[in-house]
Amino acid sequence: MNKLQLFCQNRLSWLLLFFSGLALQLSALFFQYVMEYDPCVMCVYIRVAVLGIMLSGLVGALFPKLWILRFIAMIGWIVSAIWGAKLAFELNDMQVNPNPFATCSFFPEFPEFMPLDKWLPEVFSPTGMCGESVWSFLSLTMVQWTMVAFIVYSFIWLVMFLPALTPKRK
């Protein structure tokens, strides 16, 4: 437990969280702009959840020895991971069990104070349909891989929760 406590209070652990989210975002942009797979509105919301994980990593990396910042980062991390998993499960259900009555919106519904689709349309503006599954690897679709990623984020959060919030013993 002591090694996990030290790791949680180390800037490297939080930067790993940030860079893992960055890798997912860059992968999404690669699929969008290089492979030309248009993101749906649910995909855009999943990108926002990954952005939440990235921001949590940055908050934790600011002052990793400060308990309150680790706590805020841990809350942001798990909220983003659970919300991302929920979105990915919903999108997977739309793709696996297509229903003409269960479709997603064509336009994102961001709050007025944070119109990400207006601020950064290259990343947060949907151009695809939710029911389409255009890519797979090892028999898992893209959305199923995001489900795996969010489950892994949640599992790592569970392992890190107590060590991150307990003070270091001398």
DSSP helix/strand/coil, 48: helix
List of residues 6+ apart from 54 with CB closer than 8 A? 17, 18, 21, 22, 25
- CA dist 1 and 18 (Å) reads 23
CA distance linking residue 19 with residue 21, whole number of Å: 5
Of 73, 41, 45, nearest in space to 57 by CA: 73
Query: What token pair was written down for 89?
Result: 């499960």
- Which residues form the catalytic set? 40, 43, 47, 104, 130
Which residues on neighbouring strands pair with residue 56, listed in sequence order?
Answer: none
The structure tokens listed for 4 are 């996990």
Q: Which of 48, 46, 78, 49 is nearest to 165 (CA)?
A: 78
